[in-house]
Structure 1
Amino acid sequence: MLNITDYSLDDIETETVLYFVRHAHSKYEHGRELERGLSDSGKAAALAVCRRLEQENIEFFVSSPYQRAIDTIASLAQYAGKTIEIYPALHERLVSGKQDLGPEGFAEAKRRCYEDPDYCPPGGESSRQARERALPVIRQLLREHAGKRIAIGTHGDVLTLMLGSWDQRYDYSFWQRLSMPDVYRVRFNGETFAGAEKVGYTS
């Protein structure tokens, strides 16, 4: 019979749990990606997410620098008595630049970005570029906070692109089904993806 003492600590993978929290509803205002916060309905939904995740014993909080992402996990961090660390590389993927594409133009650009990971809309960012600047943050968190539960204030595209880097089922159709807010519990053994599941909440 093998005994736990037959293994070194390096042989035992530590489970780390990340909670990707897509921001709640925020009224769109072109050119105000960084500072626009939550709508009234978004604030109510963020509180509902907080109530649901209070029981998850989350220990560490990080976020995109966008205000709507910070605001969505702020109550949860306050409940836990923690501050939120901001990682600029987790900002939302820009699909349009200075020009407002409108709903139809935005939807078409978004679809093309998922069909071709190297397609970069004018003034925007390709899927590959967005994934390559966001994923190193996740790897850093897994190394520096192994074994902990971490909440990440994020966005629909960044959430989809990160999950899609581990499992190709997380694609454009998945992005279309996301709600505001939305929560996914993602488990890792060491730095190896071990699965993701949607976390339901009651508003």
Structure 2
Amino acid sequence: MLTTVLYMVRHAESPFKLGEERVRGLSREGQIAARKVTALLKDIDIAAIVSSPYTRAIQTVQELATYKALTIKEYETLKERPIKGLEYRLPEQELLKAIEQSFNNKAFCLEGGESTQQAQRRAIPTILQVIKENKGKNIVIGTHGNIMTIIMNYFAERYGYDFWKSTSKPDIYRLTFDDNNSLTEVERIWSEMEG
């Protein structure tokens, strides 16, 4: 049976700056962690590297792309899911509550935000297209915590709020798909590099 593997790489540490969601890059610690991502994936035969268009996601997989002599293909559809409108900040507890609610009720979103359902509608066709174009191969995806969880949730309901809360920056999950694009296995591989 032909299997296709997605390595979902959640971006490394990036300092929050209001209004700079798209362009904020990695912190010094994030840059060091991104080098560990490269070390972990450099010996894998990678056919393609795709990413969210956000700087922090690209920077996390950039060194790997350079090492592999691959061009990162950016997809607007793989950007992070906005939880709320950008014009106001929410206390962390309220934000976490909204994220939890968005997984329990996939149609829920805060004003100016995007529901889990809406995010899946934009991201999943891209994921399926990338799998189709690279059938039987290994693909790396530079991504974010929320949209990564939302994509995984589409294929298996067990990936929701608790899973999202358990992820780190960076993080790497190896997703194996069969011929029918069914998710058959998920393995966290970042923990091997931690510490």
* TM-score between the two structures when normalised by the length of structure 2: 0.94
Please list, as runs of the form range in 1=range in 2, the aligned pairs for 1:159-198 lying within 5 A after superposition: 159-190=148-179, 191-198=181-188
The equivalent residue for 1:149 is 138
1:1-203 to structure 2, matched below 5 A, reads 13-97=1-85, 98-190=87-179, 191-200=181-190, 201-202=192-193
State the 1:108 CA deviation.
2.1
- The one-letter amino acid of 1:169's match is R
Q: Is the 8 A contact 2:47 2:134 kept in 1?
A: no
User: How many angstroms does 1:109 deviate by?
Assistant: 1.7
Alignment partners' CA distance in 1, 2:119 and 2:49: 21
Give the distance between the partners of 1:16 and 1:119, measured in 2 at CA: 32
Q: Offset of 1:133 from its aligned partner?
A: 0.6
Q: Distance in 2 between matches of 1:122 and 1:30?
A: 17
TM-superposed CA distance for 1:78, in Å, is 0.6
Tell me how far apart the structure 2 counterparts of residues 85 and 182 of structure 1 sit (CA, whole Å): 20
Could you tell which deviates more after superposition, 137-146 or 191-200?
191-200
Separation in 1 of the partners of 2:36 and 2:110?
35
Q: For residues 103 and 92 of structure 2, what CA distance do their matches in structure 1 show?
A: 17
Q: Helix, strand or coil for the counterpart of 2:142? A: strand
5+ residue gaps, structure 1: 1-12
Q: Which amino acid aligns with 2:193?
A: T
| Rg (Cα) greater in structure | 1
Question: Whole-Å Cα distance in 1 between the matches of residues 13 and 97 of structure 2?
Answer: 21
| TM-score, normalised by the number of residues in structure 1 | 0.90
Q: C-alpha displacement at 1:15, in angstroms?
A: 1.2
Gaps of 5+ in 2: none
Q: Figure out how many residues of one structure are paired with residues of the other and give that number.
A: 191
